[in-house]
């Protein structure tokens, strides 16, 4: 006789499952209504919980927005890291990085829209905070971390003569701005156009594609 055994969640596992459901609920509502247009109670009710669940997991909306941002970054981040980890040229890795990000936004439009809302909300909060608290400082660190790998890619490309000389941080921030705002808002955007734009902006003239076929 075959018996089925149901795994009974530990208290910690149950808490983690509740927290994840709340974060996914918040992502959905942030994508639809924005962070400011979403109440904590609405997040709890949308996830099937009472208001006590949300207050038991998040101190306030800032902490919830940070959790949503981390949730999406933790999902997308490893994919982008793999795109940069190959032995291909810096130009080819940049193209793969861009296409990977755009493909993700097309597959996960709700998460893409949610992170735009969360980043915009937290960015404005940080800008208007005269005395930066720990969370606004953490936001600034995440912003810096989000472009660190791109800065490293650009600097490597420059050192190898594959890319022209430019300010790597400015270029990285420009690319992230396009990927984090324009792309999720327009999921039908042509990935090839974005790739061509940044390839043209970064590629060394000594390493130009004579046939104009690079994409």
Residue 145 falls inside a structural domain: yes
Check which CATH number belongs to the domain holding 99 and give it: 1.10.357.10
Domain count for the chain: 1
pLDDT at 136: 47
The whole-number mean pLDDT for each consecutive block of 10 residues of the chain, a chain of 215 residues, reads 62 91 97 96 96 94 94 92 93 96 91 89 70 50 73 97 97 90 72 95 78 46
Residue 10 falls inside a structural domain: no
Residue 140 falls inside a structural domain: yes
d(CA 115, CA 185): 11
Residue 105 falls inside a structural domain: yes
Residue 97 falls inside a structural domain: yes
Residue 72 falls inside a structural domain: yes
Residue 118 falls inside a structural domain: yes
Question: Which residue range is the domain that position 153 belongs to?
Answer: 61-207
> Burial level of 83, CB count in 10 A (0-12/13-18/19+)?
buried
Residue 201 falls inside a structural domain: yes
């Amino acid at each position: 006789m075959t018996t089925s055994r149901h795994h009974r969640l530990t208290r910690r596992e149950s808490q983690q499952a509740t927290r994840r459901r709340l974060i996914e609920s918040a992502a959905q509502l942030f994508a639809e209504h924005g962070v400011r247009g979403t109440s904590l109670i609405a997040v709890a009710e949308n996830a099937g919980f009472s208001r006590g669940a949300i207050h038991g997991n998040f101190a306030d909306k800032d902490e919830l927005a940070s959790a949503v941002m981390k949730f999406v970054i933790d999902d997308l981040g490893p994919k982008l890291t793999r795109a940069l980890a190959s032995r291909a040229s810096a130009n080819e890795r940049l193209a793969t990085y861009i296409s990977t990000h755009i493909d993700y936004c097309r597959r996960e439009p709700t998460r893409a829209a949610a992170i735009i809302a969360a980043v915009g909300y937290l960015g404005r909060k940080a800008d208007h905070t005269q005395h930066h608290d720990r969370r606004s400082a953490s936001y600034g660190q995440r912003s810096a971390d989000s472009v660190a790998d791109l800065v490293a890619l650009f600097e490597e490309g420059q050192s190898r003569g594959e890319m022209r000389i430019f300010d790597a941080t400015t270029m990285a921030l420009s690319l992230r701005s396009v990927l984090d705002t324009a792309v999720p808002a327009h999921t039908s955007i042509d990935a090839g156009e974005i790739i061509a734009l940044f390839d043209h902006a970064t590629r060394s003239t000594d390493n130009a594609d004579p046939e104009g076929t690079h994409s």
